[in-house]
Structure 1
Amino acid sequence: MKTFQPVKATNFRCRRWQVPEICLPVFLSMLLLFTACIPAIGWCNDEYNQLGNLFGSEGRNMEDVATKIISLPGERRNWVKGLDFSPDGKYLATVTHKDGVKVWDWQNARVVRTLGRLQGSNIGLVRELLKFSPDGHMLATCHDLATNRVVIRIWRTDTWEVLHEITDPMPGSGCNAINFTPDGKHLVRIAHHNPKYSTDILHVYDTTTWETIWTLQLSPFRPYALAISPDGKWAAIGGYAYGGGIKHQSIIVDMEKRMATRTIPNTVDFAFGHLAWSPDGARLTAIGRRGWDGLAYTGGPENIMTFDAHSGRLLAAYIWGRVSLLYVRYTPDGKYLIESDMNDRGTALGARIWDGTHNKQLQHIPGAISSLAVSRDSRYLATGSDRDTTIWKLKQQ
């Protein structure tokens, strides 16, 4: 497990009569540590910052694995909260609070269609907002309960007409995340309901009839993040169990047996994070704020954790400073793991590109990055912010 320990102060003191050759290095070292722990606002109280951050590794590129090629214009303070490339890579769907869904011919920076958003809908805490179907024939969007109790809307991509709307009659229902299974036969949704009405947290729909095929009940558990394994046999749900204390964990669901088979404990608050499955199905990465148990941060300092998806064994764990809202994506070819952070205070940590095993950081992209998407051919990365969407070309080896 890879973590960085807090930097401890020494007992060494410089006196006035000591020679400058001794005092100056100590003074400069103390000044470096002091300035590194002052964010843009307020004093730094996070004792677990990575030592690498203090010495500037976050601000430079180790390798140029991502090269900026185009920016799609947006509106200031209109955060891009969701992104997805069409399977053929020609189009990029974006979603923002103000504009709802737009479909771009991104190579020409041209909006193909503005689909808007449903009246009364809210995307504030939705983790996976929109997804193209594997065949590219449909685009689905997910949001909190809108007018007429609609929680998911599906469009045809040939005409951009509404194909279907999924509703939920339960009071206070919504949608926290969606994804299609790799074969395109099912759409999976996770949601939290008032336990008084329902304990269903996972809903599986047939993409031909749009009927509910099956649901999974877990209580007391609040789900936030969703990831489906590349072979479609497993689903991972990130959230926390409550009642007798808060326990942050990922639930692994057998999609064929339609049951939860194991639990992976972690220290990640998925209300501000995501899950990602590696393309070979061997690893599961969780990212978010440090988990809060209602009393104190007692689970541990790590907020980025990679597990063996089959055994639940922790493979790597990292601490990423004072984060706010985080995203994570693997490239489909498995070469890169990309993580990002955003806030509106000017202190966001940007994005980091790692090798696919999450052992070596390759590049840092500064800024407040509110969403990520990778094209199916692994050639392009899209990053969203509060004013535009940027497309990067990824290095192919």
Structure 2
Amino acid sequence: MTSRQISLKTIAPIVVAVVAIAAGLYLLKLQPSSKTDTTAGSDSKTLVPPELWRDTQLQTPLAQASGRSEWVSSLAISTDGKTLISGSDDKTIKIWNLETGKLQNTLSGHNAAVNSVAISPDGKQIVSGSDDKTVKIWDLSSGKELHSFADNSGEIKFVDFSADGKTLISVSDEKKSDKDDKTNKTIKIWDVNSFKKLETFTGGTGTVNAVAFNPKTQILAIGSNNANTIDLWYLENKKLVNTVTTQSPKVVAVALSPDGTTLAGSGNYGVVELWKLDLEKLKLPIGSLDPQQRKSLSGNSGTVEAIAFSPDGKTLFTGSRDLTVKTWNVNNGELVRILKNSAWVEAVNITPDGKTLITATALGEINLWRPSSQGYALRKEVAENVSKLLSTRSCKECDLSGVDLSNLSLNDVDLRWANLSGANLNNTNLSGANLENSILFAANLERTNLTKAKIEGANLAKAKLTATIMPDGKVSQDKTKQENSASAEAVKQ
């Protein structure tokens, strides 16, 4: 699928919460890193530390439906960060107020799934592209359809406005002829005021699977479904300027950094690749761009469906079919934090101030992630999950991130798919526990007893495993688990 103010106070070194359980009290100690700097200048767009992201849902979330009926495929945010637009497979476009979390309007008019939405720079218009082969412009305030561009022979995979808002672009699969089933990757430019088509140019045979556009640099990236390539177009001269080759057989998601100097792409292997782009060389004829240094980010157990950069370009967010959103340090390729969702993550976007991350899933859920003003302050949900775990010995798919479960006897508990990121399990007895597919990212497992525990599919990236008794009974001497099935690597090729 194609994609798209909370101030922080000084974090106390230890936040403590007391939770009542069965026969007494349980002390939960949450320790954010004392090394984390959570401040930035008033004119800075530096993203808040990724490890502080917490989950808060929209007050009126999209209906949770089975199958693809509510599959959210695209997210767009206004330049003032106050309005969110979502497009989904139910043929509708929804307008949300990000300040209240409330649904403001639902726009109907497409006859098939909506693949892409965008908001004009002045925040007054919406453009949408659909499988019904139309591009539509809407008035954001009234929700009225202003025009429908129907001069297309293929499904519209991507739409966006130019930097000045006077033109818009669409990317689609257009058949070569009625007698030929093969399609061309087709780019069209439309005039917003006159509703006239200004340009049409094709990018060769193939189907479009992922698109990213940077209005400032005029660079357009198109990933193919039937090839391991990403085409780079410079729209000012309407030329294909370069093609990069990916490791995966097909390209699923692409993104361009805000300054246009970094390209991110992913395929169906779960690896995200980063390329540095020389903008001046990209404006020259194709073939003049030398192979660029590339980083590979490994840590996704499922296909990466969505990618987004933070406004400062220093952090990358990836949404995957493994039900997670991961945050990465772009400079060194380090995996910083894992955010658990309830379904495949199909779209990711972030507000212009860099302080609200928005994710959308295949079940139609839209989640807002904001940094807590109290750091790792314990949420009521987490406290209730701890009580549930201790009383029932089971907490499947629970959020237990950051909790202190050290020195407890939790043998034979069921923690499948549980989020234990950053949890303190020091000297905890987890013998015979079921931890399959759980997230133990950056968890403290020092001297933890995992004898006969089931840990298949568990994410142990950055987990401390000093003197840990592993499932086979052997004692680990590793200080930190840096390389495993969900580790982060920065590979220069």
Q: Deviations over 1:121-153 (max 9, x none)?
A: 134xx4xx11111111111111112xxxx5111
Q: Which residue of 1 aligns with 2:101?
A: 109
1:169 Cα deviation (Å)? 4.7
Deviations 1:208-235 (A, max 9, x none): 2222221222322322222223523321
* 1:196 alignment partner in structure 2: 177
1:237 to 214, 222, 231: 222
Higher relative contact order (CA 8 A, sep 6+): 1
* Aligned residue identity for 2:99: Q
Equivalent in 160, 184, 192 of residue 179 of structure 1:
160
Other structure's SS at 1:182 match: coil
Q: Does 1:393 align with 2:351?
A: no
Asked if 1 retains the 8 angstrom alpha-carbon contact of 2:72 and 2:88, the reply is yes
Report the alpha carbon displacement of residue 104 of structure 1 after superposing the two structures with TM.
1.3
Task: State the partner residue of 2:428.
Answer: none
Tell me if structure 1 keeps the 8 A contact 2:88–2:113: no
2:355 aligned residue (376, 379, 383):
379
**What's the offset of the Cα at 1:325?**
5.3
Higher strand proportion: 1
Alignment-mate amino acid for residue 257 of structure 1: N
**Residue 143 of structure 2 corresponds to which residue in structure 1?**
160
Partner of 1:351: 325
**1:35 aligns to what?**
none
- 1:219 equivalent to 2:204? Answer yes
Alpha-carbon distance in structure 2 between the residues aligned to 1:395 and 1:357: 25
Cα deviation, 1:67-102, whole Å, max 9, x if unaligned, reads: 224434222233322222222111211223337111
Matched residue type, 1:92: L
**Identical columns (%):** 19
CA distance in 1, matches of 2:300, 2:337: 17
- The structural deviation recorded for 1:261 is 1.5
Partner of 2:274: 306
Distance 2:247 2:172 in 1: 21
Q: 1:255 aligns with which of 227, 235, 249?
A: 235
Question: What pairs with 1:97-136 in structure 2 (closer than 5 Å)?
Answer: 97-98=89-90, 100-119=92-111, 121-123=112-114, 126=115, 129-136=116-123
In the alignment, structure 1 residue 141 sits paired with structure 2 residue 141: no
Structure 1: how far apart are the matches of 2:122 and 2:331?
Answer: 29
- Contact 2:296-2:333 within 8 A present in 1 as well: no
Instruction: Check the 8 A contact 2:78/2:84 in 1, yes or no.
Output: yes
Query: Which residue of structure 2 lines up, in the alignment, with residue 323 of structure 1?
Result: 302
The CA distance in 2 between the partners of 1:362 and 1:200, in whole Å, is: 36
Q: 1:137 to 1:232 in 2, by over 3 A?
A: farther
Whether contact under 8 Å (1:225, 1:270) holds in the other structure is: no
**Which residue does 1:74 correspond to in 2?**
62
List gaps (5 residues or longer) in structure 2. Answer: 1-48, 279-288, 374-493
- How far apart are 1:276 and its partner, in Å? 0.7
Query: Match of 1:22?
Result: none
Matched residue type, 2:62: G
Call closer, same or farther: CA 1:349–1:167 in 2, change over 3 Å.
same
Q: Quick one: distance in 2 between partners of 1:335 and 1:325?
A: 19
- Unmatched segments (≥5 aa) in structure 1: 1-61, 241-245, 291-301, 343-347
Distance 2:152 2:62 in 1: 35
State the one-letter code of the partner of 2:351.
Answer: S
Is residue 316–residue 327 contact of structure 2 (8 Å, CA) maintained in 1?
yes
For the structure 1 residues 164 and 321, does the alpha-carbon distance in structure 2 shift closer, same or farther, using more than 3 Å as the test? same
SS in 1 for 2:177: coil
| Equivalent pairs, count | 302
Aligned 1:336-347 pairs, distance under 5 A: 336-342=315-321
Name whichever of 93-102 and 331-340 sits farther off. 93-102
Cross-structure match for 1:52: none
Q: Indicate the RMSD between aligned Cα atoms, in angstroms.
A: 2.5
- Measured after TM superposition, the shift of residue 337 of structure 1 is 0.8
**Alpha-carbon distance between aligned partners in 1 of 2:329 and 2:177, rounded to the nearest angstrom:** 45
> Is contact 2:185–2:207 with CA below 8 Å preserved after alignment?
no
